[in-house]
């Protein structure tokens, strides 16, 4: 004689909670953009990174100020005035970086993107300065017209452009063509004015 199956229970198991996303520390974000950029940007999706963005602006702006001959002359003449000029330069870098991030987000939204402002703008600022840091470091040590520095300029710019396209594609769910269009104006302007232009 077979044993009848137990009656069905009305108590359903509680749904499993999704695993919490681990915190993306600034050093993992900054260093990870160099050796595992796709994985890091996927992990950083829909996350703000204003702390890392401000840090990179301050570091890059500080290195950039040290490479300007006018600052060195002012430092020899009047250090108090030199510090004030450095502070103004840092504030300018912060404002310009925020504008770059805001413009990138606005263009992506105009092209049909659906990403949020804070993750797009802050991560764009981070990758922009992270990829430019080697050029800044070399320009602080070597003449900017040397072949080595110029090669580093084009290489880091190209790497930053590719990362910016991947960032917009992931954050705004746009095609690669539209993502490239969303960052082209900003990256070309940065190449002409900041990297190849008189401001070094």
**What DSSP string runs through 22-64?**
PP--HHHHHHHHHH-HHHHHHHTTT---HHHHHHHHHHHHHHH
pLDDT above 70 for 186: yes
Q: What is the pLDDT of residues 158-185, one digit of tens each?
A: 999 999 999 999 899 999 999 999 999 8
pLDDT above 70 for 109: yes
pLDDT above 90 for 121: yes
pLDDT, mean of residues 121-143: 87
Q: Regarding predicted confidence, which is higher, 104 or 3?
A: 104
Q: How confident is the model at residue 85 (pLDDT cuts 50, 70, 90)?
A: confident
pLDDT above 70 for 20: no
Other beta carbons less than 10 A from residue 17's beta carbon: 6
Q: Regarding predicted confidence, which is higher, 83 or 2?
A: 83
**Six-digit token pair at 10?**
């009305």
pLDDT, mean of residues 140-149: 77
For residue 96, count CB atoms less than 10 angstroms from its CB and return exposed for 0-12, middle for 13-18, buried for 19 or more.
Answer: middle
> Can you give the pLDDT at residue 104?
93
CA 106, 65, 158: angle at the middle one, nearest 5? Answer: 50
Place of tokens 């072949």: 147
pLDDT, mean of residues 34-43: 83
The winner for highest mean pLDDT among 20-24, 47-51, 145-149, 175-179 is 175-179
Report the mean per-residue pLDDT for the chain.
82
Q: How confident is the model at residue 199 (pLDDT cuts 50, 70, 90)?
A: very low
> Can you give the pLDDT at residue 138?
84
Other beta carbons less than 10 A from residue 126's beta carbon: 28
């Amino acid at each position: 004689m077979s044993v009848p199956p137990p009656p069905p229970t009305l108590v359903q198991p509680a749904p499993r909670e999704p695993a919490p996303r681990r915190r993306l520390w600034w050093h993992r974000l900054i260093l990870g953009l160099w050796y595992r950029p796709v994985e890091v940007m996927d992990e950083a999706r829909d996350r703000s990174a204003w702390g890392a963005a401000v840090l990179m602006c301050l570091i890059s702006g500080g290195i950039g100020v040290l490479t300007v001959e006018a600052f060195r002359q002012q430092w020899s003449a009047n250090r108090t005035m030199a510090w004030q000029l450095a502070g103004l330069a840092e504030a300018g870098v912060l404002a310009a970086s925020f504008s770059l991030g805001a413009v990138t987000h606005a263009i992506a939204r105009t092209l049909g993107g659906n990403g949020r402002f804070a993750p797009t703008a802050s991560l764009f600022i981070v990758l922009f300065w992270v990829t430019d840091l080697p050029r800044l470091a070399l320009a602080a040590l070597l003449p900017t017209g040397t072949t080595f520095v110029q090669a580093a300029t084009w290489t880091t710019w190209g790497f930053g452009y590719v990362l910016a396209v991947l960032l917009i594609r992931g954050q705004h769910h746009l095609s690669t063509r539209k993502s490239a269009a969303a960052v082209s104006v900003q990256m070309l302007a940065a190449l002409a004015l900041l990297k190849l232009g008189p401001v070094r």
